[in-house]
Amino acid sequence: MEPAGPAVGQVQVWDAEGRSADAAAVRRIADAPTAVWFADAAPGFAERARALVASAAAAGRTPVLVPYYVPQRDCGGHSGGGAPDAGAYRDWIGQLAGAVHGSSALVVLEPDAVTHVLQGCISASAADERYTLLGEAIRAFKADPGVRVYLDGGNPGWVKDVDRVVEALRRAGVAEADGFSLNVANFETTDANIGYGTAISDRLGGAHFVIDTSRNGNGPATTADSGDGHWCNPPGRALGPAPTRETGHDRVDAYLWVKRPGESDGACGEGAPEAGQWWPDYALALATN
């Protein structure tokens, strides 16, 4: 986690305004270990990663990083963007992997990248290139055996055909990773993810996985005013189980807060800011529901 995140600042603002109950609620987010996303090539990104792993080591904690810069990211959706081409991505991954070398970092690699291929929103040639890039990224991080890598595999509410997911993960090089991740930035229940992940794991020889529990306390929305409402800032959601390695399941290596609770999924729904922007009202709802 980064100690100067927006939740920390929000607690300070509301304390100063006398909103002590609201500040105490959002402190549940501010005090929780959350992943740090790397989503662009702005100057200093590698230095930021080095500082993160150094501060985590000093505190005796494990840094969780989320590389999120694959070309044609999010298929042009709310979080669209990514590297301009394969060469730029390879260079970026190389710098990021170098920055965490020698650390105990945990990497959740490219949320949604594999599942978007299955969704068919990029061309066949772009899909082949993406599989290649993801495999190269896994190998770049795993050049250091102390770094653990989990390739993202979507969530149980998205692609329900487990065999398709397994084949895609294989093509992307999951065998060279430490496992796969599920439910990043989504709301599916922990139990649903355990069932889905176990089915994938069975087909991958017992591969381990991690689950994003940051916002799944109430599970997914079942009704919404828009087509995005199931996953994009749905109302009535809640924080999920706290981050821990003690999951009680031998193949589930950790429950993580990968998506930062309180950051918008996109400009969907009344008053919602752009993807990744801090949204105090939504954060407060997550912390109090």
The catalytic site residues sit at 74
Query: Which of 91, 189, 84 has the alpha carbon at shortest distance from 137?
Result: 91
Please state the φ and ψ torsions of residue 129, each to the nearest 5 degrees.
-65, -40
Residue 256 vs residues 116, 276, 285: alpha-carbon distances, Å: 22, 18, 20
Structure tokens at 65: 């990083």
Are 135 and 94 in contact by the 8 Å Cβ rule? The answer is: no
Structure tokens at 52: 């993160």
86: left (phi over 0), alpha (psi -120 to 50) or beta: alpha
194: left (phi over 0), alpha (psi -120 to 50) or beta: alpha
Q: In what order do the strands lie in the sheet with 148-152?
A: 36-38, 64-67, 106-109, 148-152, 179-182, 208-212, 252-256
For 89-102, b/e burial (b = at least 16 CB within 10 A) is bbebbebbbbbbee
Supply the Cα-derived Rg of the chain in whole angstroms.
Answer: 18
Strand partners, 65: 36, 107
SS3 208: strand
Between CA 21 and CA 39 the distance in angstroms is: 33
